[in-house]
Every structure is written in C-alpha cells, then in structure tokens.
Chains A and B, each alone.
Chain A
Amino acid sequence: MTNNTVELYSTKPQQGRIGKQYVDGVNHFFPSAIIDEEWQTENQVTITVKMTALVEVMKWLYYDQGGWLAVTFGNDERSLNGHFAVYHSLSMEGEVKSWVTVKVLVDADSQEFVSVTPTIPAAVWGEREVRDMYGLHPVGLPDERRLVLPDDWPEDLHPLRKDAMDYRQRPQPTSETETYQFDNQLGNDSNRIVPVGPLHITSDEPGHFRLFVDGEDIVDADYRMFYVHRGMEKLAETRMGYQEVAQLTDRVCGICGFTHSVGYSNTIENALSVDVPFRAKMIRTVLLEVERLHSHLLNIGLSSHFVGFDSGFMQFFRVREKTMELAELLTGARKTYGMNLIGGVRRDFLKDQRLKGIALVREVRKTFSELVDVLLATPNIESRIAGVGILAKDIARDFSPVGPLIRASGFKRDARIVHGQSLESYGDVPFELQSMENGDVQSRVMVRIGEVFDSLNIVEYGLDHLPAGAILTEGFDYVPNKFALGFTEAPRGENVHWSMTGDNQKLFRWRCRAATYANWPTLRYMLRGNTVADAPLIIGSLDPCYSCTDRVTIVDTKKKRSKTIPYKAIEQYSINRKHSPFKL
C-alpha cells in the first residue's frame, strides 16, 4: 500500500465500463428491449427494459451469464416519471464481475407487473414485498400470501407509497385472528405439525415456523417472519437526513450493523461519485473483519452448543470476548461502531491502538487454533454435523443465497473477492475464498473456521499497513434523484443496499437487503428429510441471531391435543437426543 500523499484518493477511470458486454448482449438477443441505459459507477449499470421482455432478459442474465439475484424492490416514482418501478439487481459473476440492475416501469393505473419468480425463484420474497409495500400486483407469482404486512393490516394501505401514510400513524387492525396459511408442499394432512414460534429458536427476529413431520422426520417446513418489522426504510425516507441514516443502518442488526452502515454509505458515495480516502477505506475494511470475527466465533460457539459440546461453547465465547475488546479499542464501543459518515469515517486509528490491536489479534489467533483442534478432535461432533441439512446445488443456484451457506455448497460467491476491486480495500488485503463442496452443516462450520483465520490476517495486515492521509471527504453536493447500489460481505453473506437521493436533503428511497433475507427461502429445502432434533442445528447453521424467548407448541392433528413445550426442552432434546418432548 501507498504512503505517498499524491495517491491519497482513488481515481475512477471515466471511460471504464465493466459489464458493458451484458448490455450489448441484451441488445443483441432481445432487440429493442432496452428503453434506457444508465451507468451509476464503472461497474454498475441500470437498464430499463420493456415489461414484455423482462422475464427473458432476466433469464438470460441469470442463468446464461452467471447472474445472481441480489435484491428485488419497488419504488414509487410517480412524482418523477409518472410510473411505479420494480428493480431487480443482479450480481454478475460470470467471466466479467459487475452489477446489472434491470428496471421495469409499472403503469400507475393498472399497477401490474410480470413476475419473474416462476423462472427465477430467488425473486419470490422481493416480489411479495413489493406487493405488500406498494400494492403492485405481480402477475404470475404463485405465492399469493402476504410477506411483510401483518394479517390485521388493511387491504388497500401500502406503507411505502409516497401518498400512503405518515410514518407515525398506525391503522386500526382489521382482523382479530391470524389468517396466514402455512404451506405443506410435499406432505399431506396426515403429517403432524410442529409449530415453532411465534418467537423463533435461533432467529434474530421473532418468526413462526411450522415443521410438517412424519414421526421424527421433517417432511416439509414453512415459516413466516417480519413480526418485528421496524419500518426503517420509511423512517429513513421521511424523518432522517443522509448522515443520520448512517447511524440508523448501524442498528439494522445487533451483530453485523457495521456492514449495513458501510453498505448504505457506499450507495450514496457511489451515486454521487464521492471518492473515499484510502485510509478510511482501510479502516472500514478492518472493522468489517473485526465484526466478522466476533460473529463467526459466536456461531462456531453456538454450533458446539447445539450438539451438546457446552465446554467448547464457553471456550469459544472466551475467545470471542477478546474480539469484542478489539472492537471497543478501535471504535469506542463493543457494538454499533457508529464510525461511518458519507465520504469516510469519523475516527482514526492511532498508533497505540494499532499496536494493541495487533497484539490482541495474535493472541486470538493462537487460542483459536488450539480450540479448533479441540473441537475437531471431539468424537461426536462429526457424527452430528456431517451430512445434515444439505443445501443442494440446484436449489442454491435457483435461490441466490449468500455467505458461508452458499460457499459451503461449492459456489465461489464472496463479494470481497468477486467485487473486491470496488469494495473498500479488499482488493489490497491478503486472503482467499473459503469454500467447501458438501453443502452440509459441517461444511458451513469449516468455511466459518477458515474465514476466522482470514479475518485475523486481514485485521493484522490492515492495522499494520494503514495508508496515511485523510479519513473523510467533505464538501460534496447532494444531487437529487441519483441512485446506486452499495454492497458488503457481512458475516452471514452479502448485504445489499440501494438508495436514491431526494430533493429535500432526505433519501427518496432506501432499500436494505440483509444477508439472511436471501437465505431464508432455502431453509425449507435444507430441513426436508432431516429429523426434528437436527432442526435447531440446521437453522443455527444459517447463523440467524438468537432469541431465547420462544416456545414450541405441538399440535396432534389426529388426536386434537396440543402441548406447549418451552424452548429449553427442544434445545435439550437437540443436545441429548433422548426423552423426546414431542410425545403427547
């Protein structure tokens, strides 16, 4: 890295258009499908296509050109161009790595758009959310149920429409009962139902799971989230300024908030072509990895816990505490680092902090390697995690999951490598992409273990090779209605943000897609064919955050009896696999 003051700022080649061939390809195979083409950065393009060509264009980009669907979202652009809009952002990971966003304009009167879900299943949650939030009807979407809005929400009120409602208002509930239909795709009515929730076992948000079981085996599973939808997107659009939203995004997740904050800051920096100083980029990179350290150590600890290896769990948490200290040392807080501003970071790393930080990293590396040896030498670990909760490759390809989940299924997807050149300082730090072939819980644990060592190396390298210079770019102007994507590789996978600036010093639209949002739809396929005792382990291997307040109710549909079991009991069953609490 450079210590030369001349090279303080990165330069963006103006003529570089990475991913131009994707646009050319669409023009070649689907003549006159593209209405408009707009470049946000050198590797981000948004093409507006005709509705009639949407499915074909998406299919070509996704399956033929190695695209992965990162995020699907709507936007109320009636005040800009008289239409609603639906965006599908694709991370192109074929030969050329870039971002292509496919946009369709939706007529403000008919309010219908063509669903791509039948062709690309990954779009299912995004399109259901567009229907809830904007009231646009996805024609052909097989799943007619609500996703985000609760059952008692009025039929015709769509919160993210610009003319819908104030963010402080709540409509009168329209229903007393839950009307959501859980969907058993493989089994029939003879299956027993094991509902888990409404506060879920290992999820960062309360969720309601239905396991359809035949004896001990899971036939199918369905689930419902968004019980604690906080309306952050609406809040950011209506109440907060650009800099304040950077603090709000820090609070999207209690574990990996900093990656959201970086992702959001990147959207505005990309949209307005703000050059972030090298030093700020490296500081962000180091902190992103510090966050990965504590998150992965938490998950590896929990994996030990789920298989009954509780002393391992405690040892990993002892090491994790050191990484929390590292965060406190570098940012002033154990969590919610609050470091980002648009254009850089607020706080520098001083020499003393860097020295102490490197010492801490070395200590963690030493203890962690010892513990990994212990973990892998523990006899019953392998029998519990190998071959369990397999995510098949074809399912993974269809649903675009992210993070250790997809890397454990043999796909080399990691935003830090794939898009490393346009993601903070990841192009300059030494590390390798960790991937495994088996797709089971064991592979995910091994991927995480490998990534912990990578993160330790990156943190040490970053603290040692911190470039000199400024940490914040100031004095740029906000231009209305500019938009771009921002992305980071969070511990759980890629977080994708998209923002459009407004004309009132506020965001016109901010879309935040957390990693787990992309991973949930695949969970059903991972649970199928496994036993109930493995369910917490499988759900845990997805690395959702933990909520200990949930309970499980068993309903025997034949005998019409039910019994409520505290979460502790199902957890104990997962650990011991004896004295099943599910026998009525």
Chain B
Amino acid sequence: MFKLLKTVIKTGEATKKYPFAPLEVCEDFRGKPELDAEQCLSCGACTRACPANALIMETDVKTGTRRWELSMARCIYCGRCEEVCPTKAITLSQNFELAVTRKEDLYEEAVFSLADCCQCGRPFVARKLLEYVLDTLAQSGVTGEQLKLRRQQLETCPECRRSNNMLDSENISHLRYLEEEL
C-alpha cells in the first residue's frame, strides 16, 4: 500500500491535456494521405494498390477529364499509396484529427485533363502522363523524326491502334526488311 502511494506521488501527472493542448505524434506517423496534384500524373497506381478501395479513379469521356477521389471513410492509413506512387505525389501526413460533421467532407478529389486521340478524337490518356512519357523519351536521347513518330503513336488510343494494326493502314509496312534493298 505504501509502495503504491509512493509510486503514485512519484509519477505525478501521467495524462496529457489533449484535446485542449496539441498531441505530439511520432515523426513517421501514418495519418491522412495528402495528394500533391501538381506532382500527380494520374497513372492510377495508388488506386490499384489500395487494399480498402478508398482511392478510385474515374474517366469522364464527355468532359475529357479523369477524377481521382479519396474517401476518408474507407481509408485505413496503411500507406500503400505512398509506397507505390512513382512521382511521390502522395504522402501520409501527421494529421489524425479527421472527424467531420458532414458526410461530403470525407471525400477529396482532384481532376486531371485528358489528351484526345489524334485519330478518333476521344480523350483516352492523362495529358500530364503523355507529356511525362514524351519528356522521358526526349531526355533519353530520342529526337527529331523518331520523337515525332513516337508522339503520333502515343497519341493514338488503344482502339485506334488495334484497328490500325488489323486494317491496312499507313502504320503497316509490308516490306519491313527488304524495303531499303528495293
């Protein structure tokens, strides 16, 4: 009994003043995921990795946009999105005070514009992703005519590319190996 009292007095105050004083969390605490939309390519890697389906990505062909959405009602703060992001656009912040009074406030979104297919005119790929790929190619030494050809290829949607390959079009050269000899 005496020992217990001694322990109690020695300990003093064990509790913290939270929520009236801020609560410190560890440096690498996994809190709310924050998206840096500038940095995001809307590649969709995070939506594939998310175990809880908290992240979704929807393409709207009519407006030519792609929407990224995070539902804080589903997020489990595992940080898989941060881990798989190729451009480090998502980081888990230290914010853990996430209660809201309106359900709509649980959702966060970012809208990205899409590039149109140069043949059929339908939007199919995020403009930033396309430019990123082309910039990477240019950086790696692809120039001039080659780069132009690549741009044309990449700006063609998968459906058009498929039909180009199936049907007789300018993409297909029947004399691939002997053309120069002739």
Write the residues of chain A forming the contact surface with B, with a CB cutoff of 8 angstroms.
Answer: 240, 243-244, 247-248, 251, 311-312, 315, 318, 321, 325, 328-329, 332-333, 336, 338, 346-347, 353, 370-371, 373-374, 377-378
Q: Are A332 and B76 in contact (CB under 8 A)?
A: no
Q: Which single residue of chain A is at the shortest CB-CB distance from B3?
A: A374
Known: A244-B51, A328-B29. A346 touches B83 (CB 8 A): yes
Q: Which residues B67-89 have CB closer than 8 A to chain A?
A: 76-80, 83
Given A240-B51, A248-B51, 15 more A-B residue pairs with CB atoms under 8 Å apart are A315-B8, A315-B11, A328-B25, A328-B26, A329-B26, A332-B29, A336-B77, A336-B78, A347-B28, A370-B7, A371-B7, A373-B3, A374-B3, A374-B7, A377-B3
Q: Are B4 and A374 in contact (CB under 8 A)?
A: yes
**Interchain pairs with CB closer than 8 A, number:** 58
Our pick among B4, B11, B14, B30 for the contact of A333 (Cβ within 8 Å) is: B30
Q: Are B52 and A247 in contact (CB under 8 A)?
A: yes
The prevalent SS among residues of A at the interface is helix
Complex: A315 Cα to B83 Cα, angstroms? 39
Q: Are B11 and A332 in contact (CB under 8 A)?
A: no
Q: Are A336 and B29 in contact (CB under 8 A)?
A: no
Q: Which residues B5-62 have CB closer than 8 A to chain A?
A: 7-8, 11, 14, 25-26, 28-30, 49, 51-52
B28, B29, B51, B76, most chain A CB atoms within 10 A: B51
Complex: A315 Cα to B15 Cα, angstroms? 12
Residues from chain B with a CB closer than 8 A to the CB of A374 are: 3-4, 7
Our pick among B4, B30, B49, B76 for the contact of A312 (Cβ within 8 Å) is: B4
Q: Are B79 and A338 in contact (CB under 8 A)?
A: yes
Q: Are A338 and B11 in contact (CB under 8 A)?
A: no
Known: A311-B8, A318-B11, A370-B7. A332 touches B51 (CB 8 A): no
Q: Which single residue of chain A is at the shortest CB-CB distance from B1?
A: A378
Our pick among A240, A311, A318 for the contact of B14 (Cβ within 8 Å) is: A318
Residues from chain B with a CB closer than 8 A to the CB of A353 are: 28
State how many residues of chain B have any CB contact under 8 Å with chain A.
Answer: 22
How far is the CB of B59 from the nearest CB of chain A, in Å? Answer: 22
How far is the CB of A361 from the nearest CB of chain B, in Å? Answer: 16
Our pick among B4, B49, B76 for the contact of A336 (Cβ within 8 Å) is: B76
Known: A244-B51, A248-B51, A332-B29. A338 touches B78 (CB 8 A): yes
Q: Are B51 and A243 in contact (CB under 8 A)?
A: yes
Complex: A581 Cα to B51 Cα, angstroms? 47
Q: Are B83 and A338 in contact (CB under 8 A)?
A: no
Our pick among B7, B52, B92 for the contact of A315 (Cβ within 8 Å) is: B7
Complex: A325 Cα to B29 Cα, angstroms? 11
Residues from chain B with a CB closer than 8 A to the CB of A312 are: 4
Q: Are A333 and B77 in contact (CB under 8 A)?
A: yes
Interface string of B77-107 (1 = CB under 8 A from A): 1111001000000001000000000000000
Complex: A333 Cα to B30 Cα, angstroms? 6
Residues from chain B with a CB closer than 8 A to the CB of A377 are: 3
Q: Are B79 and A332 in contact (CB under 8 A)?
A: yes
Our pick among B8, B26, B78 for the contact of A247 (Cβ within 8 Å) is: B78
Complex: A209 Cα to B53 Cα, angstroms? 37
Q: Which single residue of chain B is at the shortest CB-CB distance from A317?
A: B14
Complex: A39 Cα to B139 Cα, angstroms? 52
Give me 20 A-to-B residue pairs in the complex whose CB atoms sit less than 8 angstroms apart, sorted by A's number. Answer: A243-B49, A243-B51, A247-B51, A247-B52, A248-B51, A251-B76, A312-B4, A315-B8, A318-B11, A318-B14, A328-B25, A328-B26, A332-B28, A336-B76, A338-B76, A338-B78, A338-B79, A346-B83, A370-B3, A378-B1
Residues from chain A with a CB closer than 8 A to the CB of B3 are: 370, 373-374, 377
Q: Are A247 and B83 in contact (CB under 8 A)?
A: no
How far is the CB of B10 from the nearest CB of chain A, in Å? Answer: 9
Q: Which single residue of chain B is at the shortest CB-CB distance from A246?
A: B51
Q: Which single residue of chain A is at the shortest CB-CB distance from B29?
A: A332
Residues from chain B with a CB closer than 8 A to the CB of A251 are: 76
B4, B83, B92, most chain A CB atoms within 10 A: B4
Complex: A336 Cα to B75 Cα, angstroms? 13
Residues from chain A with a CB closer than 8 A to the CB of B83 are: 346
Residues from chain A with a CB closer than 8 A to the CB of B52 are: 247
Q: Are A332 and B7 in contact (CB under 8 A)?
A: no
How far is the CB of B40 from the nearest CB of chain A, in Å? Answer: 22
How far is the CB of B77 from the nearest CB of chain A, in Å? Answer: 7
Q: Which single residue of chain B is at the shortest CB-CB distance from A247?
A: B51
Residues from chain A with a CB closer than 8 A to the CB of B4 are: 311-312, 315, 374, 378
Residues from chain A with a CB closer than 8 A to the CB of B92 are: 332
Q: Which single residue of chain B is at the shortest CB-CB distance from A312?
A: B4
The 7 closest A-B pairs by CB, nearest first: A244-B51, A247-B51, A332-B30, A338-B78, A318-B14, A332-B28, A328-B26
How far is the CB of B178 from the nearest CB of chain A, in Å? Answer: 40
Complex: A435 Cα to B93 Cα, angstroms? 44
Complex: A526 Cα to B49 Cα, angstroms? 46
Residues from chain A with a CB closer than 8 A to the CB of B78 are: 247, 336, 338
Residues from chain B with a CB closer than 8 A to the CB of A346 are: 79, 83
Residues from chain B with a CB closer than 8 A to the CB of A315 are: 4, 7-8, 11
Residues from chain A with a CB closer than 8 A to the CB of B7 are: 315, 370-371, 374
How far is the CB of A296 from the nearest CB of chain B, in Å? Answer: 19
Complex: A326 Cα to B79 Cα, angstroms? 19
